[in-house]
Chains A and B, each alone.
Chain A
Amino acid sequence: MTPKRQKRLYIILGIVLGTSLIVGLVMYSLNQNINLFYSASQISNGEAPVGTRIRVGGMVVEDSVKRATDSLRVEFTLTDYEKNVNVVFTGILPDLFREGQGIIAQGKMDENGVFQAIEVLAKHDENYMPPEIAETMKEKKEAIK
């Protein structure tokens, strides 16, 4: 092997090793940081793990929003028109949070089956429905038919 070829070989070997290391790290941290999406029905069936970060989506049930008088704690119920799940959140809700609106909450289930939200997302368009919710809704409607 000429010295030039040898050098090229080292470079290629380095790149291959580096890439595989990186891909490995990427896959590892992907698996550590993905948030699975659950519907209200899946949660009330007990499919969602307790204490793991997940996302839950659904419609905010009318007249279910209750505010604490002395803090920013708020409770509401999410539904996928089949089962409900109660959500607790402390903080400022997004502008488009409304009863009857589709939202996504990020957080953890506690032992009492209440969803402790860390973040509530409502998207910036009143006609907008997160695809995750739209799909679960569609499945539900088809199931009813």
Chain B
Amino acid sequence: MIPELGEYALILALGFSVILAIVPLYGAASLKTIWMEYAKPLAKAQFFFMAISFACLGYAFGQDDFSVQYVANHSNSQLPIQFKLSAVWGGHEGSLLLWALILSGWTLAVSLFSRGLPLDMLARVLGVMGIIATGFISFLLWTSSPFLRYLPRYPRDGADLNPLLQDFGLIVHPPLLYMGYVGFSVAFAFAIAALLSGRLDAAWARWSRPWTNVAWAFLGGGITLGSWWAYYELGWGGWWFWDPVENASLMPWLVGTALMHSLAVTEKRGVFKSWTLLLAIFAFSLSLLGTFLVRSGVLTSVHAFASDPERGFFILVLLVLTIGGSLTLYAFKAPNVKSESSFGWLSREMLLLINNVFLMVMAVTVLLGTLYPLLIDALGSGKISVGPPYFNALFVPIMGLLVVSLGFSSVARWRNTSLESVKQQLMLPGIISLASGLIFPFLYGDGFNFRVFIGISLSMWIITTVFREFKGKFRSTTSIAEKLKQLSPSYYGMMLAHVGVAVTAIGITLVSVYSEERDMRMAPGDTMELADYQFKFLGTKSVKGANFVADQGTIEISLDGESVVTLYPQKRRYNVKKSMMTEASIDPGLFRDLYLALGEPLADGAWAVRVHYKPYVRWLWLGGLLMALGGIVTVFDRRYRKNDTQKQGVANA
């Protein structure tokens, strides 16, 4: 009964999204206020029924209702309750339902928090989001309903959730990532609404900025968590694989980063307007492309759980309609855009334009590397895969250039800056960064290392230039505390995010250069040495978990004869699917991780043991979190709220 209610609620939600897609947009086009007023209640109703539908599926999982196909395929009565609930998005249908729920959640949020928005703009934004929701909910209902039943004979117990997904990381990673993916639909809707209304002044940029920043922060947070999850859960200590699905989330993030910066320029200076519109369209299109790549089964990947050509085709149609439709609209309307000011060759505008170009090039590089194998396959010229060396060879140098330009744009001023002032401001930061890059490998490693030199210099370059610019704010002030209070949250958010880039860069550099790893055959009593640590293998014993049995190894780690920690890596065997899984055991630290994983049992109680020494690996996620935090902080800027109340006051008067 409950699952049918869920399906019914989903159908009702589709009904409301269809009305939302038609009525407010028609109202805005024909200037009928009452029609436009419908947008808000419709958004609420749509969210209400999506939430009911999602809750019904959650209930079916909680009650072990294995007559529901999706539950039977992705859950099991032995599964701990928190994983039963996160299993809701452990497969194709449920994760799409989550996608649609989050979309309606964003729609609701826009309707609640955009009080300063003119009615016709709000109606258009919500209407565009209604169109997107219509597409996705129909996709759910027609090709991937999670509420289908196995009747009359249903399985006594479920087929279990993939053991890799039975983890805290899976509980939070997909919702966060989807918050980001879907969040770009708001920026997209604002761009389309601006194009539809023809009012392409800087106002739309100011409205859409906080939404874009939040979506970007969620996406970055989701990617960071995903990388961390892969590190500890996949059992081989990697943190980025250039897997197509990772790329699918990285591309909208890169374009989103460009969009964020471009929006800032559009709002403050009234230039780059059409470019910003285009970026908003691209960011969301890439989110959709990511969904298509993951869901259509065209890729060989851990994430590609569903391969169904019909589904792939449906998403492809949605993708073509979205991109085609919005670009057509863009082509008709964008030529009317006029820049409101000009800028010189050396100015913050120009440097941010360069930053945008670099980010776009990075996105295109990743896109080509991801789609090239598909293209070659479609042309029938053989099966290929593009390896990490391709991505590293192109991505890393461009990232370096981007970081160099970041330093310049920190100190450059809007409109025009004299070369003299830039030189004078950057001399000291430049010297400090080069010197630290030069010294660090001697202090930390065994001598000069080019990659460390570059990585540390670039990271220090960010930190010192950000600090230099921060210090510049106090030039004409006497009270430091007063000035600190005066600076806006969006300024602090920017600093946090830029320092985050530096922290991530330090982490990536050091973990790539100074990591050590060894795979060894170890019998009980054997010792091995790695990065000055001694690892003593004391054998394995059998342990029992909630829904698995495991061989648990005991490994004592000591440094120069002093005991550091004892780790217990496991080789698990899950009861239901009889699948094996490596559960790595990690001794985390700010400056180094010790990472142990069991390979396979060999003769005489010996095991293949994998040992990693990972210096500074935590930094790369720490930096990711700082960036995300920076994005969130910007939203608390008084400007957005003040603007709201001002408009409110005018409306009331």
Contact = CB atoms under 8 A, between A and B. Distances in A.
Interface string A65-97: 001011110000000000000000011110110
A33 B602 contact: no
A34 B394 contact: no
Contacts of B577: 126
Nearest to A53: B387
A123 B384 CA distance: 17
Contact of A70 (B302, B383, B521, B608): B521
B541 to A, nearest CB: 20
Given A26-B394, A123-B300, A123-B302, A18 B384 contact: no
Contact of A95 (B302, B390, B394, B581): B581
B365 A26 contact: yes
A34 B373 CA distance: 9
Given A72-B520, A123-B302, A33 B390 contact: yes
Nearest to B610: A92
Contacts of A67: 602-603
B599 A92 contact: yes
B385 A32 contact: no
A19 B361 CA distance: 8
Given A95-B580, A132-B300, A36 B521 contact: no
B389 interface: yes
Given A33-B389, A37-B382, A37-B383, A95 B582 contact: yes
A35 B236 CA distance: 22
Given A35-B387, A124-B162, A29 B519 contact: no
Contacts of B507: none
B369 interface: yes
B579 A96 contact: yes
Contacts of A141: none
Contacts, number: 93
Contacts of A55: 385
A18 B610 CA distance: 44
A71 B599 CA distance: 13
Nearest to B598: A92
A130 B368 contact: no
Contacts of A143: none
Contact of A126 (B361, B387, B579, B597): B579
Contacts of B582: 95
A135 to B, nearest CB: 8
A131 B357 CA distance: 36
A22 interface: yes
B599 A72 contact: yes
A4 interface: yes
A30 B602 contact: no
A34 B382 CA distance: 11
A32 to B, nearest CB: 7
B164 interface: yes
B608 A72 contact: yes
B384 A37 contact: yes
Nearest to A33: B390
Contacts of A36: 382-384
B590 to A, nearest CB: 28
Given A92-B608, A93-B600, A34 B162 contact: no
Contacts of B383: 36-37, 132, 135
Contact of B162 (A69, A92, A125): A125
B342 interface: yes
Nearest to A91: B519
A126 B305 CA distance: 12
Nearest to B373: A34
Interface string A6-50: 000000000100110010011001101111110000000000000
A37 B300 CA distance: 13
B6 interface: no
A15 to B, nearest CB: 7
A33 B386 contact: yes
B368 A33 contact: no
Interface in A115-129: 123-126
Contacts of B164: 124
Interface string B576-618: 0101111000000000000001011011000010100000000
Given A26-B368, A72-B521, A35 B608 contact: no
Nearest to A36: B384
A15 B599 contact: no
Contacts of A126: 577, 579
A19 B365 CA distance: 11
Contacts of A123: 300, 302
A58 B580 CA distance: 21
Interface string B253-280: 0000000000000000000000000000
B206 to A, nearest CB: 26
A72 B518 CA distance: 11
Contacts of A91: 519
Q: Which of A55, A96, A125 has the most CB of B within 10 A?
A: A125
Contacts of B365: 22, 26
16 contacts: A19-B361, A26-B365, A30-B368, A32-B393, A33-B387, A34-B387, A34-B390, A35-B386, A37-B383, A37-B385, A70-B521, A71-B521, A92-B236, A92-B600, A93-B599, A96-B579
Interface of A: 4, 15, 18-19, 22, 25-26, 29-30, 32-37, 53, 55, 67, 69-72, 90-93, 95-96, 123-126, 130-132, 135
